[in-house]
Amino acid sequence: FFNRDRPPVGDKNLYGNHPFLLGVDSDWKGYGVFLHTSNALEVVLQPTPAVTFRSLGGVLDLFVFTGPTVDRAVQQYQRVVGFPAMPPYWGLGFHLCRFGYKTLNRTRYIMESNIKAGVPLDTQWNDIDYMERSNDFTYDKKNFEGLPEFVQQLHSSGRHYVVIVDPAVSGSEAPGSYPPYEDGLAMDVFVKNVTGGIVYAKVWNDKSSVFPDFSHPNASVYWAKQFASFHNEVPFDGAWIDMNEPSNFYDGHKDGCPPGQKEDNPPYIPGGEKLSAKTLCMSDRHFISSHNNVHNIYSQLEARATYKALVPIRQKRPFIISRATSPGQSAWSGHWSGDISSSWEDMRLSIPNMLSFGIYGFPLIGADICGFNGNTTVELCARWHALGAYSPFSRNHNTDDGIDQDPFSLGPSVIMAAAVNLGIRYVLLPYLYTLFYRSHVYGETVARPLFFEFPNDPKTYDIDEQFMWGSAIMFCPALYPGQTQVNAYVPAGIWYDMYGKRPPINVNNGTRMAFSAPLSDATLGLFRGGHAFALAMKVTTTAEHRQSPMVLLAALDKDGAARGELFWDDGDYLDSVEKGRYNLYKFSSDWREKVVISASPEKVGCDENPLVAFVFVVGVEEAPKNVTIGGKSLIFQYDDDAKLLSIRDLGEHLNSGFEINWS
Q: Tell me the catalytic residues.
A: 242, 245
Dist CA 157 CA 151 (whole Å): 10
Q: Which amino acid is at 476?
A: C
Are 398 and 370 in contact by the 8 Å Cβ rule? The answer is yes
Supply the angle between the helices 412-442 and 378-388 in degrees, to the nearest 10.
Answer: 30
**Which is nearest to 106 in space by CA: 123, 90, 129?**
129
**Which is nearest to 282 in space by CA: 245, 257, 248, 308?**
257
**Which is nearest to 98 in space by CA: 119, 120, 127, 124?**
127
Q: Which residues contact 127 (CB under 8 A, 6 or more apart)?
A: 97, 98, 99, 100, 101, 164, 397, 400
Dist CA 316 CA 310 (whole Å): 8
| Total Cβ atoms within 10 A of residue 232 | 10
Q: What are phi and psi of 462, to 5 degrees?
A: -100, 5
Pairing of strands 209-210, 238-241: unpaired
Are 324 and 244 in contact by the 8 Å Cβ rule? The answer is yes
Is 623 strand, coil or helix?
coil
**Which is nearest to 401 in space by CA: 374, 367, 371, 368?**
374
| Total Cβ atoms within 10 A of residue 512 | 9
**Which is nearest to 254 in space by CA: 281, 286, 233, 293?**
281
Dist CA 660 CA 226 (whole Å): 55
For 97, 196, 270, 450, the CA distances from 392, given in Å and listed in that order, are: 17, 44, 33, 16
Computed on alpha carbons and rounded to an integer, the radius of gyration of the chain in Å comes to 25
**Which is nearest to 450 in space by CA: 458, 461, 435, 439?**
461
Q: Which residues contact 227 (CB under 8 A, 6 or more apart)?
A: 137, 165, 239, 306, 309, 310, 313
Are 236 and 151 in contact by the 8 Å Cβ rule? The answer is yes
**Which is nearest to 511 in space by CA: 475, 459, 470?**
459
**Which is nearest to 316 in space by CA: 45, 99, 623, 571?**
571
| Total Cβ atoms within 10 A of residue 279 | 25
Q: Which residues contact 434 (CB under 8 A, 6 or more apart)?
A: 534, 565, 566, 567
DSSP symbols for 359-397: HTT--SEE-EET-SBS---HHHHHHHHHHHTTSSSEEE-
Q: Which residues contact 454 (CB under 8 A, 6 or more apart)?
A: 460, 491, 492, 510
Supply the angle between the helices 219-233 and 298-314 in degrees, to the nearest 10.
Answer: 50
